[in-house]
Structure 1
Amino acid sequence: MSAESYLKPEVLNQIKRLDLRAQMVVRGFLQGLHASPYHGFSVEFSEHRRYSKGDDPKTIDWLVYAKTDKYYVKRYESETNLTGYLMMDLSRSMGFTHRQQFSKFEYSICLAASLCYLMIMQQDPVGLLTFSDKLRANLPARSRRSQVTDLLAQLSRLKPEGETDLGDSLHRVAAMLPHRSLLMIFSDLLGDPEPVYRALAQLRHAGHDVILFHILDESEVHFPYDGPVEFEDPETGQKMPVDATEIRQDYLEAIEEFREGYRERCSKLRVDYVPLDTSMPFDKALTEYLSSRQSRF
């Protein structure tokens, strides 16, 4: 799908409507993640905080001291900005769709574009990372308004293909992120979960916030098949004939167990796990997630 397809008025209107409908929720959600121990070099004054031992005395605001008889230092925009990275799964299985408008990959793109738009409205820089069996294309984190268009243009040139190794890719991301960031991952998670858990633990240990969007096709969640069906593994090409009616219950139990496993492990790691399927409008899905997170903090 081309960038123009994602920039259709109806898609952009959904993204902008999301901002209007969830403006207060999003502001609280993002600003709640803004605390940062790092000092930058921006000259744009943002706010004050009490002076504490170890602060450079040169940063004391003497005008405030004259009024309050207390020491306050200036904080700068770069101290409070949150850098976000959208991390997109490019494995071939992400291109699958049964009867929905968007494939898993296209659905993820709409979610990612929405989050990019919302973060930029908060003047937070956001970048893009893509992966399959290894890290691939990336877009540096920026806060300019054209970043949404740049992100869509970048993704429109990519095609889901090959196998995936999310665990290894996350380990590499953990090694390359220079400071505390917000990592938003979009994947169907079709693979061994154990390496993913270890990599998520590494990211959390380093102080990064992580949101894991588990994107499945509606048919992968609800299994709307009957009788003899031949399934094909999109990443290996292996075909498997089955009686869909006979295996339905076992399949539904297995997929629920798979999602519940991620839910439990992510909860222990304090990683936000967001299970979605492509039957839910992406703006509704994102608003409900942000609202539920806001109510928990």
Structure 2
Amino acid sequence: MSSTAEKYLKPEVIRQVARLDLRAKFIVEGFIAGLHASPFQGFSVEFSEHRKYSPGDNISDVDWNVYAKTDRFYVKKFQAETNLTGYLVMDLSGSMGYTYRQELTKFEYGISLAAALGYLMIHQQDPVGLVAFDQKVRQSLPPKSKRSQLGNILSLLAKLQPAGETAIAKSLHQVAGMIRHRSLVMIFSDLLGDPEPIIHALHRLRFAGHDVIIFHILDEAEALFPFNGMLELEDNETHETLLVDADGIRADYLEEVASFQERFRKECRSARIDYTALHTGMPFDKALMSYLLSRQSRG
């Protein structure tokens, strides 16, 4: 990578940082360092209201749509700043606690990402709150934009533990009933449940006028299936076990995972919900870019 700071976008590096406040800071600084290191040469901007991004510019001013088309960073010269209220919505189900080879669990990956997004929002002076659920909403913090809010969010995130069964759809309906004003709802979950009611609950959030980003987090092993021979699988929520031949089921398993993700991707696209598929081996910058693109597209 092009800078020392950017190494903190890697989950295997972040895993070695115990404190969540430092994880958040390092992930965001690594992301910004990546922006600063990007080349700008050889591209002429068609729009007079843009200029090249320079180190020191607020990254919330970057035109992410221009970046998506050109892979170059430009800022809008004139941009009315509007505050955005955000909710970090965390799945506490037992399945989120799964990890293979002692890397970051899905839950640890999710709270590291949520901490970084909370850090980014507070530094952009956007109010941000936190909701955590399993079979129902267990914890919540109302949105605030004060600097002290970041400490409150990080403190609660650090105390949360994934355990037991979950009811994603029911909990998201509860979240929809809690949020009174148009907000950006960022959901961190493995979405392990019946897709139909979950999709219905997501639609309810959209119909209420909220923008929604789903960070669909799988373990790297769940996404890539690096197993061979006979394998004992255990359900993290019910603790039932099943003995299978890994080589015999690999192709079918990977096809099932791809189909599962594509179902959510397709339904989200039709409802104008941002869907980002992640696994615990992926750098954090993909998720941060999804947030920034969503924030900017808000009209």
Report the TM range for the smaller structure's normalisation.
0.7 to 0.9
Equivalent position of 1:171 in the other structure: 173
The structure with the larger Rg is: 1
CA shift, 1:100, in A, is 5.6
Provide the C-alpha distance between the structure 1 equivalents of 2:226 and 2:245, rounded to a whole number of angstroms. 12
Query: What's the TM-score, normalizing by structure 2?
Result: 0.76
Equivalent position of 2:42 in the other structure: none
2:240 aligned residue (211, 214, 238): 238
- Secondary structure of 1:5's match? coil
Query: What does 1:241-252 align with in structure 2 at a 5 Å threshold?
Result: 241-252=243-254
List runs of 5+ in structure 1 lacking aligned partners: 31-74
Matched length: 246
Equivalent position of 2:290 in the other structure: 289
Query: What does 1:31-180 align with in structure 2 at a 5 Å threshold?
Result: 80-99=82-101, 101-180=103-182
Query: What does 1:191-202 align with in structure 2 at a 5 Å threshold?
Result: 191-202=193-204
Residue 189, structure 1, aligned to residue 191, structure 2: yes
Contact 2:169 2:198 in 1 (8 A): yes
CA shift, 1:293, in A, is 5.5
Provide the C-alpha distance between the structure 2 equivalents of 1:154 and 1:29, rounded to a whole number of angstroms. 33
Contact 2:92 2:107 in 1 (8 A): yes
* Per-residue CA distance 1:163-215 (angstroms, 9 max, x = gap): 11111111111112111011000000000011111111111111000000000
Query: What does 1:239-278 align with in structure 2 at a 5 Å threshold?
Result: 239-278=241-280
Select between 115-124 and 205-214 the one with higher mean Cα deviation: 115-124
Equivalent position of 2:19 in the other structure: 6
Residue 16, structure 1, aligned to residue 29, structure 2: yes
CA shift, 1:295, in A, is 9.7
Provide the C-alpha distance between the structure 2 equivalents of 1:294 and 1:151, rounded to a whole number of angstroms. 20
Select between 5-14 and 114-123 the one with higher mean Cα deviation: 5-14
Contact 1:27 1:122 in 2 (8 A): no
Contact 2:28 2:116 in 1 (8 A): yes
Provide the C-alpha distance between the structure 2 equivalents of 1:186 and 1:29, rounded to a whole number of angstroms. 25
- Secondary structure of 2:147's match? coil
- Secondary structure of 2:268's match? helix
2:215 aligned residue (194, 213, 216): 213
Contact 2:23 2:112 in 1 (8 A): no
CA shift, 1:122, in A, is 1.4
Contact 1:167 1:195 in 2 (8 A): yes
Provide the C-alpha distance between the structure 1 equivalents of 2:182 and 2:62, rounded to a whole number of angstroms. 19
Contact 2:234 2:240 in 1 (8 A): yes
Contact 1:100 1:278 in 2 (8 A): no
Q: What RMSD over aligned residues (CA atoms) do the two structures have, in Å?
A: 2.5
Provide the C-alpha distance between the structure 2 equivalents of 1:285 and 1:6, rounded to a whole number of angstroms. 22
- Secondary structure of 2:261's match? helix
Distance 1:89 1:100, change over 3 A: same
Tell me the amino acid that sits aligned with residue 286 of structure 2: A
Provide the C-alpha distance between the structure 1 equivalents of 2:32 and 2:101, rounded to a whole number of angstroms. 28
* Per-residue CA distance 1:8-53 (angstroms, 9 max, x = gap): 74663222332455575544589xxxxxxxxxxxxxxxxxxxxxxx
Provide the C-alpha distance between the structure 1 equivalents of 2:163 and 2:153, rounded to a whole number of angstroms. 19
CA shift, 1:151, in A, is 1.5
Provide the C-alpha distance between the structure 2 equivalents of 1:290 and 1:98, rounded to a whole number of angstroms. 27
Query: What's the TM-score, normalizing by structure 1?
Result: 0.76
Provide the C-alpha distance between the structure 2 equivalents of 1:9 and 1:112, rounded to a whole number of angstroms. 13
Distance 1:100 1:18, change over 3 A: farther
Distance 1:26 1:111, change over 3 A: farther
- Secondary structure of 2:131's match? strand
* Per-residue CA distance 1:218-243 (angstroms, 9 max, x = gap): 00000000000100000011100000
The percent of aligned pairs where both chains have the same amino acid is 50
List runs of 5+ in structure 2 lacking aligned partners: 1-16, 36-56, 65-79
